[in-house]
Chains A and B, each alone.
Chain A
Amino acid sequence: MKIDLKIVFSIIFISSLLGLAYNYFSPKEIPIFPEEKTLKWASDSLFNTTIKDSIEIKDTLNKRREQIEEETEVREKTIKNEVEKEAVKKDVQTEPLSINLKQAYSLYKKNTLFIDAREPEDYRLAHIKNAINLPMDHFDDYKSMLEKIDKDQPIVTYCAGTDCDLSIVLSNVLYDMGYKKLYIFFGGWNEWFNAKYPTETSESKE
Chain B
Amino acid sequence: MKKILSNKYLLLVIRIVTGFIFLYAGIEKISDAEGFARTINNYKLLPFSFTNMAALTLPWIEVTTGILLIFGIRVKENAFIISALLGIFIIAISISLLRGLNIDCGCFGTSSGIKIGFLKLFENVLLLLLGIQLIYFGGGSISLQKET
Contact = CB atoms under 8 A, between A and B. Distances in A.
A15 interface: yes
Interface in B115-131: none
Interface residues of B, number: 31
A1 B135 contact: yes
B74 interface: yes
A157 to B, nearest CB: 91
Interface residues of A, number: 24
A3 to B, nearest CB: 5
B59 to A, nearest CB: 7
A15 B74 contact: no
A3 B135 CA distance: 8
Contacts of A3: 76-77, 80, 135
B33 A15 contact: no
A37 to B, nearest CB: 8
Contact of A11 (B37, B55, B58, B74): B74
Contacts of B33: 23, 26, 28, 30
Interface in B38-53: 48-53
Contacts of A7: 74, 77
Cβ-closest 10 pairs across A and B: A19-B60, A16-B57, A15-B64, A15-B61, A15-B60, A19-B57, A7-B77, A19-B56, A36-B48, A18-B60
Interface of A: 1-4, 7-8, 11-12, 14-16, 18-20, 22-23, 26, 28, 30-34, 36
